[in-house]
Structure 1
Amino acid sequence: MGAAAQQPAFIIFSDLSKIGPSLTELRARGLAVLAVSQRQGSAMVQKGIELLGTPGHPFADLDEVSLRDATDISGIADQASRWARQYDVRGVLVNAEVYVDAGQVVSDMLGLPNPGWRASTVCRNKLLQRRYLDQWSPTSVLVTTPAEGIADRAQAVLLAAEYDGPFPVAIKPLDRESSIGVRVVEDREALIDAVADLKAGNRLLVEERVTGREYNVDTLVSDGKPIVTLLTQKGTNEDSTEFFVELIHTTPPANLDERETALITEAQLGVVERLEFENGYAHAEYRITDDGRVVLMEIAARAPGDGCLHLYHLSTGSPIEPVLIDIAMGRPTQYPAHFRRRARQVYFEHTPGTLRDVKAEGLEGITPRWLADTTGIWPELAAVDEHAPATVHELFVIKPRGFRLERLTESSNRAVTAIFDVPADGDIDAEEARVRRAVTIETEPAAG
């Protein structure tokens, strides 16, 4: 088949559970959808793999799927080159953190728009972020254990002494994704304990514990030029635990004034410029301290997870996926910076044990949707009129019935989430309180 007759196509790197809105948009454009996803993962990932090829399921719109580990960059590049011979590949989009490296290789290899080597490389490495972006970063040191491991506590004491700053500190394993293993250490003895627990060759970033309000700060960049920067207020369980599990997202923030918004946006644009970000989604997290200092916590070269893209859609009235696809295809595009409603996603805390049931009482028209037991994919949401009353859009269960729920020490332990919105001048906190009163998670504690 000659090149002129090749079907136009698009390669997307994504968890199958989060591919829905992008899949719909790509099919509407008449593009063959070529997906790269993980071989294994969460309950949602496993359900999605099980349903591949099912008639009538959204996954039936996937033309080809390659299940590959993210570290198999050679295999992924080879698969992409074979697709490029069969199809006219118009763009590459990365929606999953683990595939940022592979996505950069593939898009560069095919001569398609991408974040750029500096942005992709630095965003994938917590230590490089601190060193390249030191102007906006907390003080930090890298602790690396010997190849033969830590012999005794005395050696752990010496390694921990490399950090000579104030306590408490945040410790971040460099060999794990997202917030896994990130926690607060209150004093030097606790830091020594954490270092002593490291395995041979492990690397641990020890850094100043920055307190203050936290935000997602997302910049869409096309051809090196920022299109729009959007902010989302974050809430974690850090006040009640030593962990940093994200439990609340609010778009737009309800606790920022114009001056603070300008300070955070200025920092983000400086970071994007320093990284020479070329095309795509710069997803960063910042804190603003009580004295007005803006501190970068981390940055990624891909769209945020959870329901954050849903929140942008609900609050602006416009889905963001078409813009991401435009950027990936090198097309001129734009996204509204005006928020017409305020949207929030909450993850519910639960009692550890076997998940038996989730109930919602008093939420009109809302019943729990057990995604990990049914479709394995997050459905698309529809924005309502800007003057509509407070609206609960969905209550999702992302673990299967009978699953063993653990403490909320990392994001993968979360099980139940709700998404709702209110008018721009509405009371989002009151709506959250109503939703929380309505939802009950029933678990059966383990014996003993």
Structure 2
Amino acid sequence: MNVALFFGGMEHSLYPDLFDECLNRVDGFLIIDTPLNRQAHAQVFNRYFPADVVKEALYIEPHLVGDMIQQIKQWQGEYNIVLSVNVTEEFLVSAAFCNDYFRFENPGVMAAKISSDKRIQRALMSEFSPKEYQCDTPSADIDFPVVVKPTDSHGGQGFTILSDEEAWQRYLPRLTENMVIEQYIQGVDSSVETLVVDGEVVFQGVTEEISLPAPLDFLEMGYYQPPLNFSEECVATLKDYTKTLVQRVQFRTGILHAEFRIRPDGRIFFIEFAARPPGDSVLAMYRHSTDASLEAQFLNVLQRETVNMPKAKRFAGQHFYTNLPSPLPDWLQSPYQNRNCYEDTEYRVPTRCLSARNSSGIQEFVQLTTKATRDRPESSADRQGFIIYTAPTHSDMQQLSRTIASTLHAKKGE
């Protein structure tokens, strides 16, 4: 029996199309995940997939690599593991160790370790990175504002912005060795999704991020794929920087998700990278913009098959919302009203299972939670859901994006 091994597999609602594509290649899944993720997501895993799709599962803390190896050895006596995929931060390094041990295709231990440590990333990409400071840097030598972030954080977690010397002095007693202190760059964020085989880049796609105004600009509130506001030169530079990153971290095989910030003067700064697929709905947006599956191409990489990802045929956009207008406007009345699993123990339907869609308009309307949140969002937990939409031309996309953003970002009661 052919199976796929998934580290962090109970997070399937983040990557529904990836699991769906896997079922075109395998008979089921072996899952390694944390006890916490089992508690949060196991009851809903089979709501979309067949009841027997998970053949076996191991719920374990990510640092217990030896126990994982023993379990995988046992599984190899019963199943033919044809590919291994990690989809979560928790298992980046431990999955790489296991995959190296069993010679499954993967980014490699070095790349996985570096993706978990911002200080190493800064050292390797110093000429592309924000200026870094130390705890003992005299305040007179600091160009405020600065941002303090844990070396192992991701997605804006644990970030603190210090706007002036007074804030710096107050924060100094809390600084530790596992924090990075660096110049705070204001601008537009972008990500580059890169497929790599044996260190060779075989595909690159660029996504433009939509963020809140500073100081909450670390919080992604949407995306454009392909970018709506980037020049060709900017896109080419983002790709070149990412190719340099692939070489310097010795990324072997898989998908690399790199994030950058573009200042108003056009200068591009490297922020961080992950040795795993991108989160939110970035992968789904590639399907909406190209009518092809980046997930399938990622699996092709892991199975040494040909990669052939087409260019975008249209623009795709995503907007998260923190509250929904009531009543819903006419343009939001959509047949694609699905629910995500987290708060309501429901599932996110794979993109390709949606009904046939037009090239313009609302494609997905997903509600993440029904809980009330703050009027002013402060973290990803405040995002209530999202809308994905498409438009055939640049001008059509600009107009539709303005309409959606002005409605979804209106204050409650407006």
Query: Could you state the TM-score of these two structures normalised by the residue count of structure 1?
Result: 0.82
1:380 counterpart = 2:350: yes
Deviates more, 1:303-312 or 1:216-225: 216-225
Instruction: Give the alignment's Cα RMSD to 1 decimal.
Output: 3.1
8 A Cα contact 2:188 2:211, kept in partner: no
Deviation at 1:31, TM superposition (A): 3.6
Report what 2:403 is aligned to: 434
**1:293-442 pair list within 5 angstroms:** 293-336=267-310, 338-350=311-323, 360-362=328-330, 363-366=332-335, 368-371=337-340, 372=342, 374=344, 376-382=346-352, 388-399=358-369, 401-402=370-371, 407-436=376-405
Report if aligned partners of 1:218, 1:229 keep a CA contact under 8 Å in 2: yes
* 8 Å CA contact 2:255, 2:276 repeated in 1: yes
Structure 2: runs of 5+ lacking an equivalent: none
* Greater mean alpha carbon deviation, residues 240-249 or residues 296-305: 240-249
Moved more, 102-111 or 8-17: 8-17
Hey, what does 1:38 align to over in structure 2?
34
Matched, 1:48 2:44: no
2:158 pairs with 1:181: yes
Q: How does 1:279-290 map to 2 (within 5 A)?
A: 279-290=253-264
Q: Secondary structure at the match of 1:171?
A: strand
Pairing of 1:119-134 with structure 2 (within 5 A): 119-134=111-126
Number of residue equivalences: 409
Aligned partner letter, 1:361: P
Distance 1:373-1:301 versus aligned 2 partners, 3 A rule: closer
Q: Per-residue deviation at 1:88?
A: 1.7
1:209 aligns with 2:209: no
Structure 1 214/386 Cα, relative in aligned 2: closer, same or farther at 3 Å? farther
Q: Name the CA shift for 1:402/1:291 in 2 (closer, same or farther; >3 Å).
A: closer
- CA spacing shift, 1:321–1:248, aligned 2, 3 Å: same
> How far is 1:383 from its partner?
9.6
Q: CA deviation at 1:53?
A: 5.3
Contact 1:18 1:377 in 2 (8 A): no
- Give yes or no for contact 1:20–1:379 (8 Å, CA) kept in 2: yes
Gap change, CA 1:257 and 1:232, over 3 Å in 2: same
- The partner residue of 2:202 within 227, 234, 241 is 227
Matches within 5 A, 1:253-292: 253-292=227-266
Superposed displacement of residue 413, structure 1: 3.1
- Correspondence 1:61 to 2:34: no
Greater shift in the superposed pair: 275-284 or 89-98: 89-98
Match 1:10 to one of 4, 10, 23: 4
Question: Could you say what secondary structure the match of 2:141 adopts?
Answer: coil
Query: CA 1:51–1:9 in 2, change beyond 3 Å: closer, same or farther?
Result: same
Q: Counterpart of 2:35 in 1: which secondary structure?
A: coil
SS of the residue aligned with 2:123? helix
**Residue 234 of structure 1: how far off its partner (Å):** 0.9
TM-score of the superposed pair, with normalisation by structure 2? 0.88
Q: Which moved more, 1:78-87 or 1:413-422?
A: 78-87
The answer on whether the counterparts of 1:123 and 1:300 sit within 8 Å (CA) in structure 2 is yes
CA displacement at 1:202 relative to structure 2? 6.1
Shift of 1:347: 1.0
- Contact kept, 8 Å, 1:215 with 1:234, in 2: the verdict is yes
Deviations 1:159-200 (A, max 9, x none): 5648933111111123544311123221122123233345xx
- AA matched with 1:140: E
Structure 2 CA distance for partners of 1:20 and 1:394, relative to 1, 3 Å: same
SS at match of 2:351: coil
Cα gap change, 1:438 to 1:214, in 2 (>3 Å): closer
Which runs of 5 or more structure 1 residues have no equivalent in the other structure? 1-6, 144-158, 351-355
Q: Which amino acid aligns with 1:123?
A: S
CA contact (8 A) 1:170 1:182 kept: yes
Question: More deviation in 368-377 or 265-274?
Answer: 368-377
Cα deviation digits, residues 285-337 of structure 1 (max 9, x gap)? 1123344322101111111000000011111110111111121223332322x
Three-state SS of the structure 1 residue aligned to 2:23 is helix
Q: 1:142 to 1:68 in 2, by over 3 A?
A: farther
Residues 44-75 of structure 1 show CA distances to partners (whole Å, capped at 9, x for unaligned) of x8552223456x65564222233333333333
- Contact 1:47–1:376 (CA<8 Å) still a contact in 2? no
Q: Identify the match of residue 170 of structure 2 among 173, 189, 193.
A: 193
Q: Which residue does the alignment assign to 1:169? A: 146
Alignment partner, residue 65 of structure 2:
73
Q: CA 1:34 to 1:360, structure 2 compared with 1: closer, same or farther past 3 Å?
A: farther
Other-structure match for 1:140: 132
1:392 counterpart SS class: strand
- Aligned partner of 1:153 in structure 2 is none
CA contact (8 A) 1:160 1:192 kept: no
User: Contact 2:5 / 2:85 at 8 angstroms: preserved in 1?
Assistant: yes
- Asked if the contact 1:34–1:63 (Cα under 8 Å) also holds between the matched residues in 2, the reply is yes
